[in-house]
Amino acid sequence: MDLGSRLPRYTSRHTSTVMTPTTPWELTAGLRIQRDEIVIAVEGDDARTWLNGQMTNDLKRLAEGTGVYGLVLTIKGRVLADLFAFERGGALFFCVDRAVWPALHEQLEKYIIMEDVSLRETTLRTISVCGARVGELDLAPLAALGASVVKHARLGPSLEVVVEERELAAAIEAASAAIGALRAGDAEIDDAEWERARISMGVPRFPVDFGD
């Protein structure tokens, strides 16, 4: 029997290529602490419709515990940023590269005219948990930390753990323990491995793959 035919497979959300995972974390699960990202709250009665108008993806079906990826463009179609929007506790948020945020913030404020919308920096942090078996992870202990788990295909099958910064270390420990039940070794996906996987899966990153 061809062993390759028994391996889990998944399709990139950005390409039609079907990829077979090969590394331990791809076959099971691994985590990535998104240290370079900031989480922004989008508040006000018009928050959803306003943000929906700024992104290339549709937020109408966004629900509690789900997230979507999209780009923010200028009127002329120039990419300002890519971001991940999600709903948590009935509120709307997005995470974006911390270095990109000041310029993006300035531009987005120009697009708030008559709408009841405000943008607020939060102390929330995100941990991406990726791999073919993320659905098997016991992440229930995270609830005691006030963390939310958001379904989102950031890098293949993925979950986003959203937690207050003060609880980040405990959340990493809990997620690592859950991954440890599936496989041995370090749970964290390092920078080089994350970049390799991102490129092989055809997942773009601003401003590396597009922008000025």
Cβ atoms of 198 and 7 within 8 Å: the answer is no
Cβ atoms of 201 and 155 within 8 Å: the answer is yes
- pLDDT recorded at residue 18: 46
Alpha carbon 131 to chain centroid, angstroms = 14
pTM: 0.87
Round to whole Å and give the CA distance between 99 and 127: 18
CA distances, 2 to each of 5, 7, 28 (Å): 6, 10, 20
Among 90, 91, 84, residue whose Cα is nearest residue 127? 84
Mean pLDDT of successive 10-residue stretches along the chain, which has 212 residues: 35 47 88 97 96 90 90 88 93 95 96 95 97 95 95 89 97 97 95 92 82 60
- pLDDT recorded at residue 83: 93
